[in-house]
Copies of this chain bind each other. A is one copy, B any other.
């Protein structure tokens, strides 16, 4: 494939490498070859040039936790206590889902994430062959797992079987953009011996694990009552933490939990808006960062957020902890940006250097319009990105060097078709159906 040269008005290579003036990015075969300020000094023959002088380039955002097809459940239950939300709204609607519905719901999520500057996301759901098909078509990068629960023998067997078949068919598929991981749902839905079985499968297949851990106080209290330890410790006792693990939420942690997460290099997905909306609480992100734990940012599913806009999450991660701790220096703009990009990439087990615009990183690039009010004025470009910019400022998105959004228009998706199919499914899934 030929080389592509992207000329932009400014660049944020990473939180600590900002170029607030014109520069360029050169890539080939989906990997960044060169980046710099000013005019690209190399030869231009046989180079495709894309010129966006009124845009700032940032690394694509990484959504470290979610359930993509839950876009189909957006707004189906709000302002309800968690149990009522789950049992009265979410579970009955999910029971109506089909592989076809998950396909369209995942495409809807991909559309929303592309428009709001996400280039890589994680998913834990079901009918994952259909979800993977949607990801392949969208052009996004994704870390996918078939959700596993272990209430009975049939669940357990089916979960292992689903994960094996999904792994066999989709791991490293879509030109390497899809990674398959294992997705045991949580310790309260997967008994300890099942978690141990999943850990063994993870070692056999050589893939990481993603799981919900310590999301609510109730979950932690019940785990202690039943197992005599916290969910984090239980995961360790089951051998899960011997494997690479991405733990979603981690809202209610002890000091010992935090030390254990750090010791085992468990990656944490912080979902500030979902944790607020579902009344789970506020995760101890400052303590996690201070302990050296890798923390990324996630939206969670659109039934508990209710959008997939990582700019909102990034901003909330940067402001929420300041407010609840009454400390204006808690979680800086740079720390929040890192969580949403390079630390996010580490959370989802992408190679080192990913989530930046440095040479060697994947060419997963988002452009924001410098003509937006959110960049007026610009004294500190990173501040504008973190504290002012929004999804509406995203003009172009590239994943592995391929354009997914071009000057505001989706390239890979037939959005009219998605809109049509989702409206059709809405009539089937809705509370009146």
| Interfacial residues, chain A to chain B (CB-CB below 8 A) | 71-72, 74-76, 78-82, 85, 108, 111-112, 115, 217, 273, 275-282, 302, 305-307, 309, 312, 315-316, 318-320, 322-330, 332-333, 371, 373-374, 376-380, 383-384, 387-388, 390-392, 418-419, 422-423, 425-426, 429-431
Contacts and interface: CB of A to CB of B under 8 A. Distances in A.
6 contacts: A74-B388, A108-B373, A306-B383, A376-B426, A377-B429, A392-B392
Number of copies: 2
Given A78-B333, A80-B328, A390-B392, A376 B423 contact: yes
Given A80-B329, A279-B323, A111 B373 contact: yes
Nearest to A376: B422
Contact of A374 (B307, B332, B377): B307
B328 A390 contact: no
A302 B390 CA distance: 14
A4 to B, nearest CB: 27
Which of A72, A305, A323 has the most chain B CB atoms inside 10 A of its CB?
A323
A324 B392 contact: no
Contacts of A111: 373
A243 to B, nearest CB: 31
A394 to B, nearest CB: 9
Contacts of A431: 379
A113 to B, nearest CB: 9
A75 B309 contact: no
Contacts of A377: 72, 74-75, 422-423, 425-426, 429-430
A390 B307 contact: yes
B419 A75 contact: no
A383 B75 contact: yes
A217 B161 CA distance: 57
A322 B81 CA distance: 10
Given A81-B328, A391-B392, A277 B309 contact: no
A76 B333 CA distance: 13
Given A376-B71, A419-B376, A276 B307 contact: no
Nearest to A281: B326
Contacts of A429: 377
B426 A78 contact: no
B72 A275 contact: no
A307 B388 contact: yes
Nearest to A114: B373
A78 B278 CA distance: 29
A124 B205 CA distance: 62
Nearest to A76: B379
A82 to B, nearest CB: 7
Given A276-B323, A387-B305, A328 B379 contact: no
B79 A277 contact: no
A384 B112 CA distance: 14
Given A78-B383, A322-B276, A327-B279, A108 B376 contact: yes
Given A281-B326, A332-B79, A376-B423, A384 B276 contact: no
Contacts of A322: 79, 276-279
Most chain B CB atoms below 10 A, which of A275, A324, A327:
A324
A281 to B, nearest CB: 5
A279 B379 contact: no
A371 B115 CA distance: 13
Contacts of A391: 390, 392
A320 B279 CA distance: 9
A273 B319 contact: yes
A82 B327 CA distance: 9
A369 to B, nearest CB: 11
Q: Which 3 pairs between the two chains have the least Cβ-Cβ distance?
A: A392-B392, A276-B323, A377-B426
Contacts of A328: 79-82, 85, 277-279
Contacts of A277: 318-319, 322-323, 328, 387
Contacts of A81: 328-329
